[in-house]
Copies of this chain bind each other. A is one copy, B any other.
Amino acid sequence: MSAKPVTVCVDALGGDEPPAVVLEGVALALESDPDLSVIVVGTDDVVTPFAASHERCEAVACTQSISMGEHPLQAIRTKRDSSIVVGSKLVKSGCAQGFFSAGSTGACMAAATLLIGRIPGIDRPALTLALPGKTPTVLLDVGANADCKPLNIVQYGHMGCAYARIVVGVDDPRLGLLNIGSEDTKGSMEAQERFAALRDSVPEFVGNAEGTDILGDSFDVIVTDGFTGNVALKTLEGTARFLMSEVKRAAMASTKGKIGGALLSGQLGDLKQRLSGEMYGGAVLLGVNGVVVIGHGATSPRAVCQGTLVSANAARQDLVGRISAAIS
């Protein structure tokens, strides 16, 4: 069965890795999805030869790139020919139905908000992930807005529930607020204000969630500000990485362990990737009027491939149109 044809733009200059790593990921995505076309944006010497040697691939050359340390808004305003600005404009003009970048989160967010625009009714976009725990749990915001008002959290609740319905396929999502105790009165003053706002405005809200619930099965959607969400996500990734390395170390410590580790290696490898960030590829910037997916800066071909496919599928599912309809 062939999928709906879709064109995604990929930022060849985004991330800490050289463009060759990103392009290797694009090649993997093109191979695995025969109905996908990709526009690669980057310096001429990098993207033109790649596009010439790959089917369903087009090159758009630019002359600038934005580094991780630059001030996002200033970079977007002064670097008009950067890959992030050019890629965002390709989505705005309709040449591409989605944009994937492993570059600066702040710059991608600024470009998306300013150049593509927001969905009506949404003040701030939120970086959104469906985490593969006991059951999938949609977590937002994982890093777009460090400072959030209760109104932003309410909008994240609406968008997160729509995302869970559309992408995860949960009919009646249970929405939780990330907090430090399950009782209604728990948490910081900010958390208590958010609790009241969610209770009064979002029918799917069922109460407070804790850090232990992120990979659990008690909530389908968990909302928080971009500061707390980013700390939680990076703690999760760091813990997974540490534990898997310890399992490996345990397996190397004795002959018995080595045999055991060899027998288990296939499953352990899958598990490691599942929570490494490679499998989810990138976080979707919900709330902007176009599909924008932002990957980890420390990327890999496999992560770029996943991020590109996530963008393509979001475009195919009309994620933005359906989120807009759910919000209005």
Q: How far is the CA of A214 from the CA of B240 in the complex (A)?
A: 12
Given pairs A187-B227, A212-B238, 11 additional interface contacts (CB within 8 A): A143-B180, A146-B189, A147-B190, A211-B234, A211-B237, A213-B238, A236-B236, A243-B271, A250-B268, A259-B260, A260-B261
Query: What is the count of identical protomers in the complex?
Result: 2
Q: Are A191 and B257 in contact (CB under 8 A)?
A: no
Least CB distance, A20 to chain B, in whole angstroms: 25
Q: How far is the CA of A267 from the CA of B84 in the complex (A)?
A: 47
Q: Are A211 and B236 in contact (CB under 8 A)?
A: yes
Look across to chain B and name the residue whose beta carbon is closest to the beta carbon of A260: B263
A178 contacts partner chain B, Cβ-Cβ < 8 Å? yes
Contacts of A210-237 to chain B: CB distance below 8 A? 210-216, 224-228, 230-237
Q: How far is the CA of A244 from the CA of B215 in the complex (A)?
A: 12
Residue total for A at the interface (Cβ-Cβ under 8 A): 60
A133 contacts partner chain B, Cβ-Cβ < 8 Å? yes
Q: How far is the CA of A178 from the CA of B146 in the complex (A)?
A: 13
Q: How far is the CA of A232 from the CA of B189 in the complex (A)?
A: 18
- Contact (A212, B187) CB under 8 Å given A243-B271, A256-B263, A259-B260: no
Q: How far is the CA of A226 from the CA of B244 in the complex (A)?
A: 28
A253 contacts partner chain B, Cβ-Cβ < 8 Å? yes
Residue numbers in B under 8 Å from A143 (CB-CB): 180
Residue numbers in B under 8 Å from A216 (CB-CB): 238, 242
A201 contacts partner chain B, Cβ-Cβ < 8 Å? no
Residue numbers in B under 8 Å from A227 (CB-CB): 180, 187-188, 191, 228
